[in-house]
């Protein structure tokens, strides 16, 4: 048995190949745990962690099983939420099973598919934000906000002079056209109220924030007469 172990522990057999000193001979009579053999025998440091909570401490007494609150009882079957039967009698869960992911995702119909637009270099959303905060005139010369009826709005329907109304506010959309991720689609609302088309396309986009520097006025009803 020992020869078998020696073949697996060459260092041990090497050590034993030289004549053992008296001291070694003495210690070899008492079996030692190899993990402690690297410790200095003079070192009497005790690294055993203390009991936690300390024996006899108030915390330990308060944790005594006899003083703990009993666990809540399992509700009777009639109190359980209706749902599929539990997989086993041991399970007390009344949660619905997770939805199946085996069904393939529904495909968008061709007509609803969005066309990706490649924005020209220097026309990213970050570039737009930088332009807005640069102080450049994005209102095409409008210095004060005015009341704009549909007949006036209609006049601004060209690519180089495009206004559109969203939620009662009229914006000069011309400078934003090249930054719009949806590209030329934006021109569909030039010269008119685009609130409906906008909210049908991407109601989550914050137009007030994105075009605040392009505000030119407020949409009002056509004056009668
Ligand atoms: C001036 C008002 C508008 C602003 C500020 C605006 C802004 C944006 C922004 C930020 C996106 C990217 C957001 C996203 O994909 O989730 C986007 C995408 C898009 N927008 Fe607009 N938009 C405006 C008006 C419109 C209008 C009137 C249309 C007309 C249909 C339109 C059509 C699209 C389309 C089709 C996309 C998708 C582009 C893609 O998937 O790459 N947008 N727009």
Comparing 70 with 101, the larger pLDDT belongs to: 70
Backbone angles phi, psi at 45, to 5 degrees: -65, 135
Round to whole Å and give the CA distance between 161 and 50: 80
Backbone angles phi, psi at 32, to 5 degrees: -120, 150
**What is the predicted ipTM?**
0.88
Round to whole Å and give the CA distance between 198 and 205: 9
Closest ligand 1 atom, residue 176 Cα? 1
Q: Has residue 158 got a pLDDT over 80?
A: yes
214 and 175 Cβ atoms separated by less than 8 Å: yes
Closest ligand 1 atom, residue 205 Cα? 10
The residue contributing the CA closest to ligand 1 atom 3 is 207
Q: Where do the domains of the chain lie?
A: 138-219
Round to whole Å and give the CA distance between 185 and 165: 15
Ligand 1 near 217 CB (within 6 A): no
Ligand 1 near 214 CB (within 6 A): no
What's the pTM?
A: 0.58
Class of the CATH domain delimited by 138-219:
alpha beta
Question: Tokens standing for 99?
Answer: 């939805």
Distance from Cα 161 to the centre of ligand 1, integer Å: 19
Q: How many Cβ atoms from other residues are within 10 Å of residue 191's Cβ?
A: 19
Distance from Cα 30 to the centre of ligand 1, integer Å: 83
Round to whole Å and give the CA distance between 89 and 108: 43
Q: Has residue 105 got a pLDDT over 80?
A: no
Q: Has residue 12 got a pLDDT over 70?
A: no
The residue contributing the CA closest to ligand 1 atom 30 is 185
What pLDDT is recorded for position 123?
Answer: 97
Ligand 1 near 198 CB (within 6 A): yes
């Amino acid at each position: 048995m020992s020869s078998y172990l020696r073949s697996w522990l060459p260092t041990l057999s090497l050590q034993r190949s030289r004549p053992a000193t008296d001291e070694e001979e003495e210690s070899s009579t008492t079996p030692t745990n190899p993990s402690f053999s690297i410790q200095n025998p003079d070192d009497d440091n005790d690294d055993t962690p203390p009991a936690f909570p300390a024996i006899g401490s108030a915390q330990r007494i308060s944790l005594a099983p006899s003083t703990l609150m009993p666990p809540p009882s399992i509700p009777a079957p009639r109190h359980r939420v209706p749902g599929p039967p539990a997989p086993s009698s041991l399970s007390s869960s009344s949660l619905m099973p997770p939805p199946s992911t085996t069904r393939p995702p529904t495909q968008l119909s061709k007509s609803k598919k969005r066309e990706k637009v490649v924005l020209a270099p220097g026309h990213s959303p970050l570039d737009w934000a930088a332009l807005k905060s640069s102080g450049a005139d994005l209102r095409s010369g409008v210095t004060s906000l005015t009341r704009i009826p549909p007949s006036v709005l209609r006049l601004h329907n060209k690519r180089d002079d495009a206004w559109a109304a969203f939620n009662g506010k009229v914006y000069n959309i011309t400078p934003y056209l090249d930054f719009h991720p949806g590209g030329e689609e934006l021109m569909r609302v030039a010269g008119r109220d685009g609130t409906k088309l906008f909210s049908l396309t991407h109601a989550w986009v914050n137009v007030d924030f994105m075009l605040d520097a392009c505000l030119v006025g407020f949409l009002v009803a056509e004056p009668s007469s």
